[in-house]
Structure 1
Amino acid sequence: MPETAVGRRSPESRGVAVASVAPGTPCWADLATPGLDAARRFYPELFGWTGRVDPEPEAGGYTVFLLGGRAVAGAGPPAVPDQVPIWSTYVATDDADLVAGRVERAGGQVVVPPFEVFDRGRMAVFTDPAGAAFSVWQPFAFAGAEVFDTPGAMSWTELVTPDPEGARVFYELVFGWQPEEEPMGQVAYTGWRLGDRMVAGMMPPLGVEFPADSPAYWTVYFSVADADATAAHAAELGGTILVPPRDIPAGRIAALRDPTGALFSLISLTRTVPR
C-alpha cells in the first residue's frame, strides 16, 4: 500500500456510516470458508466484530460482521466443497451484466455469471487473465460495507500478480481504472485511480513467502490500531503470521492466515494524505 493511496475514500466513509460507494470502488469483502463456525469465533475476537446471521435458509449461515452495529465484512460457506478458504474483494457496479461482458472481452473469465442474492443485490465472480478472483456487487437493499478506514474495518484492497502489465490493461478496460506508479521503496507498486481517488493497488509477489510463480490473488487489508499487537493476538487465536509486521510509508502492515488458511492483511495507519 503506497503512502499516497491512503485516505482517498470520500470523507464520509472514514469511520462513519455510508450508504454506498461509487461504482468501480471496492465496497465489500467476504470470506468463503468450510470453517464458518471457527471464523465466527476468530474474527470477532480479533477485530471486535459481532455477527448477524442471514435468516434465509438458502444463505447457508452467511454472516454479516458488524463493527459498532455497522456492516464491515461477511463470511459464508464455500460455493463448492473443494474451494480453499479465501477472502474475496467486491467492486461496486451499477450493472453486473455489463461488467461480465467487459471481463470476457478483456481476456478474463466469468466464473459465476451475474445472479440476484435475494433482495440484497446482484453479484458475479470473475478471474483476471492471471487467475486472480474478484467479484462485483450491484446493490439493491444492501449497499456493502458501511464503514471504512477505522480500526476493525476494511481499509485497502491490493492485487498481487506476476503479470502487472497485463493487469494494468485488464482492469482499465473492465473498471476504467487508471494505473499510476507509486513510490514504495524498491517495490514496483501501482496505484489505480478512478477519477480523483486511488481505489486499489497492485504489486508483484515478493520474498520467499510469495515465489515468482505464485498465482495472482487479491488481498484485503483491515485497519487496526496496532499491527504488532493484532498480529500476535491472531497467532494466539490459532492464526499464522505469514509476513511479520513491517513499516511502509503509510504505516505498518502484516500478512496473516486465519486458522483455516485464508489470507488477509493488517494495516496500522500512521499518516493519511490530505485529498
Structure 2
Amino acid sequence: DLAKSVEFYSELFGWTVQEEGGDNDGLAYRRIASGDHEIGGFIELDAEGVPSHWIGYVTVDDVDSACGRARKLGGKTPVPGTDIPNVGRFAVVSHPGGSYVSPFAPHELEITVPEAETIPGRFCWNQLMSKDPDAAAEYYQGVFGWTVTEQDLGGGKYWLFRSGDAPAAGMMSINPQEKYPDFWMPYVEVHDVNETCKEVAELGGQIMVEPSDVPDLARIAVTADPTGAILGISTHRGR
C-alpha cells in the first residue's frame, strides 16, 4: 500500500515524498527526501505474496560481476542487471539464507549516493539478521569484498562488515528455529527513540522490539509500519 507507507513515514520522520517521472515498468515510484537531502524511495510491489520491506543498495564497480560472484557462492539474482536511464545500473541478489540486497553502480556524476549519517530523519545503519552468521559473512565478503570482524557489545556477539577502512554494515544472529529467513534491517536516526515509538503506535505501526540501550553507543528499537515493513530506529549518544 504505497499511499499508506508515504503517509506513515511523512508523519513519523517529516520526510517529503515526490513522485518520480519516467518509466518504472508501470510501477509507481516516489523519491524520499529528509530536508533537502535525498535518502531513498518507495516503489509499488507487484509480486503476489511478497510483504512490504526495505531493501538496501551497495555501490559496486560492476553490477553484473557482483551478480556473478553471488551465483558462484550459491546466491540467486531474482532481478538481473538492469539499467535505470540517467541514474545507473542495479540488480537484486539473494543470499542462500534468504536475505536480499541490491548492488548498484551509479552513472558517474549523475547521481549522489546517500550515505549513512547520524542526523535525525536519515538512514544511519544497516544490519543483517542471520541464522548462520559465519556462512553469511563468507557470502558477503565474497560478493562485495567486505572484511568482517567480531565484537562483543555486552549482549552477545556482533559482526562488523567493513569496506576498506569504513564500516559498511553489521550483523546479528537470530534463532535458527525462526520461520522467517535472514533479512536486512535499515536504521533511521531519530531525536528520541522512546518518543518515536509512541508516535509509531499512534500512527498505526507496531513496536517489534522495545527500546533498549547499546552500551556507549545508542538507544535503539525495532518497528513495523502499517504495511508490515520492518525498520530500526536509533538515537546515537553524543550526536
- Structure-2-length-normalised TM-score: 0.93
What CA distance in whole angstroms lies between the structure 1 residues aligned with 2:116 and 2:135? Answer: 32
Match of 2:106 in 1: 139
Counterpart check, 1:192 vs 2:161: yes
Aligned Cα RMSD in Å?
1.7
Counterpart check, 1:70 vs 2:33: no
Q: Identify the range of structure 1 (38-47 vs 142-151) with the bigger mean alpha-carbon deviation.
A: 142-151
Give the 3-state SS of the residue equivalent to 1:253 in structure 2.
Answer: strand
1:154-196 deviation line (CA, Å, top 9, x unaligned): 0000000001110111111111111101121131110012211
What CA distance in whole angstroms lies between the structure 2 residues aligned with 1:144 and 1:72? Answer: 8
Q: CA deviation at 1:83?
A: 1.8
Question: Which fold has the larger relative contact order, with Cα–Cα distance below 8 Å and residues 6 or more apart in sequence?
Answer: 1
Residue type at the aligned position of 2:48: P
Give the 3-state SS of the residue equivalent to 1:222 in structure 2.
Answer: strand
Match of 1:243 in 2: 209
Give the 3-state SS of the residue equivalent to 1:230 in structure 2.
Answer: helix
Pick from 157, 161, 165 the counterpart of residue 126 of structure 2.
157
Residue type at the aligned position of 2:7: R
Residue type at the aligned position of 1:43: Y
- After superposition, the Cα gap between the structure-2 partners of 1:138 and 1:271, relative to the gap in structure 1 and judged at 3 Å, is same
Match of 1:218 in 2: 184
Contact 1:162 1:213 in 2 (8 A): no
Match of 1:205 in 2: 174
Where do 5+ consecutive residues of structure 1 fail to align? 1-34
Identity %: 34
Match of 2:149 in 1: 180
Where do 5+ consecutive residues of structure 2 fail to align? none
What CA distance in whole angstroms lies between the structure 1 residues aligned with 2:116 and 2:126? Answer: 15
What CA distance in whole angstroms lies between the structure 2 residues aligned with 1:200 and 1:104? Answer: 21
Q: Identify the range of structure 1 (168-177 vs 136-145) with the bigger mean alpha-carbon deviation.
A: 136-145
Q: CA deviation at 1:57?
A: 4.6
Matches within 5 A, 1:45-64: 45-58=11-24, 60-64=27-31
Match of 2:71 in 1: 104
- Structure-1-length-normalised TM-score: 0.81
- After superposition, the Cα gap between the structure-2 partners of 1:199 and 1:252, relative to the gap in structure 1 and judged at 3 Å, is same
Match of 1:115 in 2: 82
Contact 2:116 2:125 in 1 (8 A): no
Q: CA deviation at 1:211?
A: 5.3
Contact 1:159 1:203 in 2 (8 A): yes
Alignment length, in residue pairs? 235
